[in-house]
Each structure stands twice: as C-alpha cells, then as structure tokens.
Structure 1
Amino acid sequence: MELKNQKWPADEFFSRRREVLAAWPTGREVDLDEAVAYHRRAGAGRSMAALLDQARTSGRTLAQPRAGVALLLDQIELLRYLAAEGEADCLPATIDSYTRQNRYAEAQAGIEESRAAGRSMLNGFPAVNYGVAACRRVVEAVDVPVQVRHGTPDARLLAEITLAGGFTSFEGGGISYNIPYAKDVPLEKSIADWQYVDRLAGWYLEHGVTINREFFGPLTGTLVPPGISHAVGVIEALLAAEQGVKNVTLGYGQCGNLIQDVAAMLTLPRLAEDYLERCGYRGVTVTTVLHQWMGGFPADESKAFGVIAWGAATAALAGADKVIVKTPHEAVGVPGKEANAAGIKATKQVLNMLRDQFMPPTPELTEEIAVIRAETTAIVDKTLDLGDGDVALGTVRAFKAGVIDVPFAPSRFNAGRLLPARDNRGAVRLLEPANLPFDRALLDFHRERLAERGRVENREPGFQMVIDDIYAIGKGMLVGRPR
C-alpha cells in the first residue's frame, strides 16, 4: 500500500493483521472482541485516558517512573512496590531491547537465562513473549493505569498483545521511535507500521475503549530544540488522528532553562490543538508529559536528586499533566526498585509543594513562547507543503530535505547537520541551523544569543560549546563553561 495520510480501510487493516499476529506464537491469543469486553469489565480505574483527564481538570501533575524486568513475577513485584512505596500515580512496562527490534527468539532466550540466574538478564519486560494472559496479570496486579513504554520502529505485534492484555496507553510513533532509535529503518516503513498501531487504537475506540497514545518528545534526549520536538509531536498527533485516535499525549524533554521549558510546555498543547483543528480533526483530547532531564546525570546520589527536583519543579510550574521520573542512580546503571521509588517520592514532594504555583507572564516568557511557536509553525507548515497537504508524504520529504533534522540521531534517513548549543542563560539555541525553514529574524535571534555567550566566555561559538554542554549537568552545571 502506498504511503499516504489516509485512514486504513478495514479490509486492508485486517489483511495486515494476519501477517502481524503470525510473527510469534502468542499472536494467536489476540481476540479483539474478547479484548474489548475485557477492557469494559476493567472500567475507568485502569484507563490512562480517564486518569489524564482528571489530572488536567484538577490541575494535578501525575508522576510516572520507568520500570521493566525480564521475569513476570518480578515485573509484578516491581510495579506493586512502585505503586505502594513510591506512590506512583501511573505505571509503565518498559519493554526490553530485543523485543524493540522484533527479535523475539532472543528475548525468549533472555527469559530463560533470567530464570536460571534468578535475576533479570534483559533490560525490560518482554511482553510479546509472555502474551495476552500474562500481560493481564501485570495490569491486574496494581490499581493504577499501566502504559507500554519502549522504543520500537515496528511495534505492531507489541501493540496487539499489550492492548489485548489490558494496557490502556501505548507510547511511540513512526518518527520518534525510529529516527532516535534505529539506523537503517526507512521512514516510509516506520510511518506505515505506526499507522497500523494507530488504526488498532482507533478500532478500540470505535468499540467503546479509549486508548491513550503518547508520543516520545525527548527524541535523542540531549539539547533538542523545542521547535524540533514540537514539530515531530504535532505531526505524530496528526497521523494518529487520521487513523481514528482521539486521546493523545504530547511529550517534551526538559532542556534545563526554566523559562524556555515552561514556554515549551505551554505552547505544546496549543500548537497540537491548532493543527488538529486546522486539519479537520475534531474531538481529540490533548494532554502533555514532561520528561525529566534525559542527558548525563551526576554520579553522586545527592546531586542527582537535585537534577530530579529541578525536573519536578519545571513540570509543576509549566502545568504538565504528567512527568516521567528519573532516578538517583541514572549515572551508574539500571536502578533498583528502591532508587526508582526514591525518585518518584522526591518528585511528588516538589509537585505537591508547587501545585498551586505557575510561572508569571514575564517578557522573557512571552518572547520564548513566540519563538517556539514560530519555529514549530515554520517546520510543520513546510512539511505539509512538501507533501501537498499530506503529512505522511511530507514528513518523508521533510527529512530528506533537512526541513526536520533531529540532532545526534543515528538514523541515516536524518540529515544530521543541525547543531544546538546553549546560550548564556542555558536555553538551547541553534549553532548550525542547517536547512531548517526559519526566516531571517529567527536565525538572527539564535545567532545573537550564542554570540552573547561567546562574548562572556571570550571564545567564538563553536563545536566545543556543544561538547561542553552535553557533559555539563553530569559535572554539576547547566551551561558548559570553559574552566
């Protein structure tokens, strides 16, 4: 089927399903009618969409960790611990790397090795291998909604099994789970594969079950300018809406400058709602999630808590509907459940203290909002133009032309020419804008902000600034100043 942004006909969708479900034996367990009945029996208490709607209405920011291990009973124990001890508002099943690459036989070997070793030998939960019934044991073990978090260019079978297994939120998209994660997957393939996922979520909605679709905002996680990540989020929301999705969460990765991050979180839902309305998609609920700092962490646990608290404060002051929590052991390896719970509790303490506080509309905040809106609009409009109004085709062409360019991405389908760096106040700017479709005023704005930092540090803005900024937080700073 030729790639285009058009809702898949039912016959095409169900024809593809036969191939998808045959990829691993547990695919035979999926019965859509039975799955709908299961979701209805579970009720709103396990619905991520319902919980996010409550959070948005009440002005509360939800706290959610990352968590995934190889063994079923250990995954259940981990989630129960994070709900009880960590007081998490919602929970994840973070999927292992083999499953993310559709290497299910190797994931099965990892399960067997984990059983023999008595500990997890995988870096996540291999949901496809466990199948529908086991997934239901996971979601039934806790009283809060559970989301699938992963990083999969082709997540079709994973979506089939986990949604039938009772998960009510599924993260990712054809851009955000390809360009930052894979080297050789063409966008034409990943967008089509994620159209399948969105069509599946749309099918559930047509039968009375709302699946929340969340898009991965941080992308490569370090120094991603808000205009880039916002454009990707808006595009993925448009692609999902065409397939019938009505509940979306757009993500953003904390950059570190409070004013820029708050401006980014304030503009994100408004931009998405504007484009959804403009493109004819009515009745789509939009919520937001802020990811705490996704770059290098200090090895010192006390300093790491400082980074976590700063992310929590940013989420609260920006009015995010949800925040993805980091742990004080980010710099030293996969965290244990105790460290994970500690990160959640530290985050919730700050969220509760700041619940009724917001950033005032200062001139600096107003300026950042205007810049982010202008950047995002320029990228999305040019993408639509390149596709002659078709956002799927336009996205493929935009990446080829460098109109969308994700910094530090491994994909060979990404231009990789854009270079970001921090300005003198720590906001992320464009050192090398490459082929981004920005007007002269925007380009001059970025150039002037970086020149200001260069004058303060007595050096020309250049690649060394980029390197210094990448490692700065791990060394206890935000801006990578020369020693």
Structure 2
Amino acid sequence: MTAVLPLRAASFGDIVAQHHDRGRLVVQPRMGFSDPARMRQGLIATRKARAATVGTITLDSYTRLGDHRAAREAIATGAELNGYPLVDQDAAVTAAILDDAVNPLFPVQVRHGSADARHIIRALLDHGLHATEGGPVSYCLPYSRMPLREAVDNWRRCCEILAEARRPTREPHLETFGGCMMGQLCPPAMLVALSLLEGMFFAQHGVRCISFSYAQQTHPEQDEEAVAALRTLVGEYLPLPRTHLVIYTYMGVYPRTPAGALRLLAESARLAVRSGASRLIVKTTAEAHRLPTIAENVTALEHAATVARTELGAVKAPDTGILAQARALVGNVLSLDDDIGRALLKAFAGGQLDVPFCLHPDNPGQARGYVDGDGRLQWQRIGDLPLGDLVRPSGAGRVSSADLLASLRFMQHKFDCSAAGSVLDEAPGHRPLPQHEGSAP
C-alpha cells in the first residue's frame, strides 16, 4: 500500500446528520463490484440519484475472509468477484475509482463482513476513507467459525486503529451490525441489546462517531417499538454527540416478484421515517435472484426516497415490553465485567446472550424465536436469558422443517401475495405460515 492519500470525504456521521436535520432520509445501497470501472460508475450513479445518498464499497468474500492470495489471483486473471478487493487491488486503481466520484458531501462507507477487519480498516484509511461497519459479535457469529474471543480482540484493535486516525477534519465512523443478527427469527429485544452493546464496545475503545443498526423484521408496529427502544437505550447509555440509527430493509428471504420487493422496500422506508432513523440500507427487486445491477440499485434508492418524502413522520408505538427486555439483557451483560469485551464473552459462555438459530460454537443455541399468528417475532424458548420475569415463551416442542421454512418465508409470501392480489398456491417456497403458536419454530 502506498502512503496515505488525501482526505476524500467529510465526516460520514456529520453528512448523515445534516440530511436528517433537513428532514431527508439518507438512503444507501449495498453495492460492490470487482471491476474498477463498474465500481466507479456505481458510486457516481449513487451520488447522482434523486435522493439523499451516501456511497458504498462492499468488499468481496476473499477479502472478508483474509484470503489475500485468492484475491490477488482473481485480480491478476480478471475473474469476477462478489465485491471490490480493496486490500489487494493496486492503490492507484482504487485512487482512480475514488477520484471525483467521492466528494465532501458524498462520503463512502466500506462494508465487508470480516471477523478480523484490521487489514480492511488500514486499507480504507490509506485511501482517505473513514467509515465502515461490523462488530465483535455481529461479524463473528453469523459469518465465521473464529472463536468469539479472537473476534473481540480483533475488533478492539479495529476500534483503536480508527480512533488513532482521528483528525480535526476527519471523525472516523463505525456502524454496529448487531441489530441485524442472522437476518431473521431473532426477537427484537436481542437485536436492540446487541446493537447497543457493540456500540458501547466501540466507544470504550475510542470510537466517537457511531451508528446503531436495526434490521426490519416481520411486523411494522413491533419494529417501530424496537427502534424506539434502541433510541431510548442509546440516550441512556451512550449519549455521544455523533450517533444515529440506521434501518436495514428486510434481510431474510426476499419477495420474488418485482412488485412484492418494491412493497417491502417501501415498508422499510416508512419504518425509517416513522421511527426517526437517519439512514436506510435498501434492497432491490433482484435480491431473490442475483446480484443487482447499478440501475436496479438506483431504482431502489429513488423508490425508498420517494416513499420517505410522503411519510408523515415519527409515531409512538405501543409498548409490548421490548424496551424492558432489551434493558434487562444489556444490564445483565454490563454487570459481568467493566470491560465490555470480556462481559460479552462471559455472557455468551453463560447463556445470558444467545442468538436463535445461530450455529457458531460459542453461541449457546438454547434460545429460539418464532413468528406468531399476528406476524410478530416472539420467544419460543429463552434458555438462560435473564428474561424469565418479562416474557412467557410458548414452550412449543419440536417443529417440522416445513413449518420452519414457512416462518423463514413469511415476508416473501406476505408481500408476493399482496403484490399479486391473490394467495399463492402451496408450491415449495410459498407455504402459508401456520396460524397457531404451537406449530411455529
């Protein structure tokens, strides 16, 4: 890597805040291409979209896993990757991509999925970029078999590298992915707790500009309540001047019809506005089939922005106990150790944090969530989570694979059906959700 290049963007968090203060929802794609020309075209198209946007460079799988030999071989042979190989691409090539594509009003976030992002963070800083995402839990448990202890150590150093890069004109930004664990079938209280805890971990290790994520789930009112709970807890535990909330459009099995996909995207935009979030990560009509094109990404950005402009604004969601559950989870973890990294390790080792359906060896695997007959995510089993006085798990026994698939495809079925105006037949992948708690996973 060459010497540090000139700063290419103002503070990511400040730009998002400026849009939010003007009543604009910032919309952002997941875009990443291995071809430098397409990556540059994608950034420029995002910047020129009819919306308040920030850019994204999503990295390839080899880079995420630290397989630099494979990344270099792909670059040398011209093989197509599923993202941009930022670490191993020639620095001059990356500089040419960023030149004039990024400006002080259009910052770029580097997205990846690595349990050890030290090399990625050094590379993005070398290129004058300063915004990324991840976390010691959220980028370990779903995506790797790395021991959680190693991931905590890696992410401690990642935070320190970002903090050391702080300058008067640059405030590095880190987004916790904790509110997106497993994409689906994780009850909202756990998502809220993990998002907050990872943000607190970042702050404990020097990061001062943080965004807290929450992934859209299966019920709009429940999601609004969850985001309100996250906002409340951020204010209580981490009242930094540079924080904001970011919503992810549904990360589970996506509608297969274009109309269904657009309806689901629109619902996520309404969730962002109604919950007072500042930023939305969008999905496209191609999600169920393949990687989206630049044009499909731009269409998604503009569609979400249009819906957001017509939404009336924040609402107060009914309280069904998500805040109390999340507060209990967070308070219990913080009682285990003053060092949040060690506290996280102790909590997972003791079952006091447990992500449903996560198969990582360091996850206890005793808790389970399910979608009830109203479309809300609930606890089926809580294992050793400190929630016994706050929830009544359904306690349902073993369920069939068909019932599990039905719950996983709940949103696909709901939005494809509503788009078509009629119920889909019961072909594989379109099985209706069981409407009684005992048969849900």
TM above 0.5: yes
Corresponding residue of 1:51 = 15
Corresponding residue of 1:81: 45
Select 2:332's aligned residue among 371, 378, 382: 382
Structure 2 residue 32 is the aligned partner of structure 1 residue 68:
yes
Query: Distance in 2 between the 1:233 and 1:132 partners?
Result: 33
Does residue 481 (structure 1) correspond to residue 434 (structure 2)? The answer is yes
Over residues 271-309 of structure 1, what are the superposed CA-to-partner deviations in whole Å (9 max), with x where a residue is unaligned? 1231236xxxxx452201000010111222122111111
TM-score (norm 1): 0.81
Given that 2:191 and 2:214 are in contact with CA atoms closer than 8 Å, whether structure 1 keeps it comes out as yes
Structure 2 runs not aligned, ≥5 long: 418-431, 437-441
Q: Assess if the C-alpha contact under 8 Å between 2:26 and 2:51 holds in 1.
A: no
Distance 1:86 1:327, change over 3 A: farther
Q: Is the 8 A contact 2:355 2:363 kept in 1?
A: yes
Counterpart in 1 of 2:391?
A: 443
* Structure 2 CA distance for partners of 1:471 and 1:43, relative to 1, 3 Å: closer
Structure 1 CA distance for aligned equivalents of residues 378 and 368 of structure 2: 9
2:350 to 385, 393, 401: 401
| Residues 1:190 and 2:151 are matched in the alignment | yes
266, 283, 294: which one pairs with 1:309? Answer: 266
Which amino acid is the alignment partner of residue 192 of structure 1?
D
Q: Is the 8 A contact 1:135 1:162 kept in 2?
A: no
Superposition pairs for residues 59-138 of structure 1, below 5 Å? 59-85=23-49, 87=51, 89-114=53-78, 121-130=80-89, 132-138=91-97
* Distance in 1, Cα, partners of 2:399 & 2:244: 36
Residue 126 of structure 1 aligns to a residue whose secondary structure is coil
1:367 is the counterpart of 2:316: no
Partner of 2:304: 347
Compared CA separation, residues 57 and 317, structure 1 to 2 (3 A): same
Q: Pick one of 399, 403, 414 that aligns with 1:463.
A: 399
Task: Compute the displacement of 1:88 (Å).
Answer: 5.7
Residues 86-110 of structure 1 show CA distances to partners (whole Å, capped at 9, x for unaligned) of 6461110001000000001101122
Secondary structure of the structure 2 residue equivalent to 1:249: strand
Of 186, 189, 193, the match for 1:224: 186
**Deviations 1:307-349 (Å, cap 9, x if unpaired)?**
1111111112111100000000111111111222221121111
Q: Deviations over 1:364-387 (max 9, x none)?
A: x2313xx12211111112112222
Kindly tell me: are residues 113 and 132 of structure 1, through their superposed partners in 2, closer, same or farther at Cα, counting changes over 3 Å? closer
Q: How far 1:208 moved relative to its partner?
A: 4.7
Question: Are residues 215 and 353 of structure 1, via their aligned partners in 2, closer, same or farther at CA, if it must alter by over 3 Å?
Answer: same
- Corresponding residue SS for 1:147: strand
Taking a change above 3 Å as real, the CA distance of residues 170 and 482 of structure 1, as seen in their structure-2 partners, is same
Q: Distance in 2 between matches of 1:461 and 1:299?
A: 31
1:186 alignment partner AA: P
- Shift of the alpha carbon at 1:132? 4.4
CA contact (8 A) 2:372 2:435 kept: no
What is the deviation of 1:59?
3.5
Q: Is the 8 A contact 2:117 2:154 kept in 1?
A: yes
Amino acid at match of 1:443: V
Task: Report SS of the residue matched to 1:288.
Answer: strand
Q: CA deviation at 1:85?
A: 4.4
Displacement of 1:434 = 1.4
Q: Which residue of 2 aligns with 1:142?
A: 102
* 2:381 aligned to which of 424, 427, 432: 432
What does the per-residue CA deviation read over 1:171-205, in whole Å, with 9 as the maximum and x for residues that have no partner? 1111111111112x111111111111111111122
| CA RMSD across the alignment | 2.2
Cα distance in structure 1, aligned partners of 2:228 and 2:90 = 39
What's the secondary structure of 1:295's corresponding residue? coil
Q: Which moved more, 1:91-100 or 1:226-235?
A: 226-235
Structure 1 residue 113 displacement after superposition: 3.5
For residue 142 of structure 1, what is the amino acid of its counterpart? V
User: Does 2:410 match 1:472?
Assistant: yes
TM score, norm. by length of structure 2:
0.88
Give the partner amino acid of 1:190. Answer: A
Deviation, 1:357, is 2.3
SS of the equivalent of 1:352 reads: helix
Measure, in 2, the Cα distance between the counterparts of 1:284 and 1:142.
25
Q: Distance in 1 between matches of 2:306 and 2:228?
A: 22
User: In 2, are the aligned partners of 1:114 and 1:122 still within 8 Å (CA)?
Assistant: no
- 2:179 equivalent to 1:215: no
Mapped partners of 1:210, 1:403: distance in 2: 34
Unaligned runs of 5+ in 1: 1-25, 116-120, 278-282, 451-459
Structure 2 CA distance for partners of 1:153 and 1:276, relative to 1, 3 Å = same
Instruction: Judging by fraction of residues, say which structure has more helix.
Output: 1
Question: How far apart are residue 401 of structure 1 and its match?
Answer: 1.4
In structure 2, what is the Cα distance between the partners aligned to 1:421 and 1:66? 28
CA distance in 2, matches of 1:319, 1:226: 17
In structure 2, what is the Cα distance between the partners aligned to 1:63 and 1:106?
33
Work out whether 1:358 is the aligned partner of 2:319. no
In the comparison of the two structures, how many residue pairs are matched? 415
| Secondary structure at 1:351 match in 2 | helix
The equivalent of 1:320 in structure 2 is 277
Match of 2:371 in 1: 422
- Alpha-carbon distance in 2 for matches of 1:174, 1:303: 34
Q: Distance in 2 between matches of 1:78 and 1:482?
A: 43
1:338 aligns with 2:295: yes
Give CA-to-partner distance per residue, 1:390-438, whole Å, 9 cap, x none: 2111100111112111122231111122111122321111011111111
1:461 Cα offset (Å): 7.6
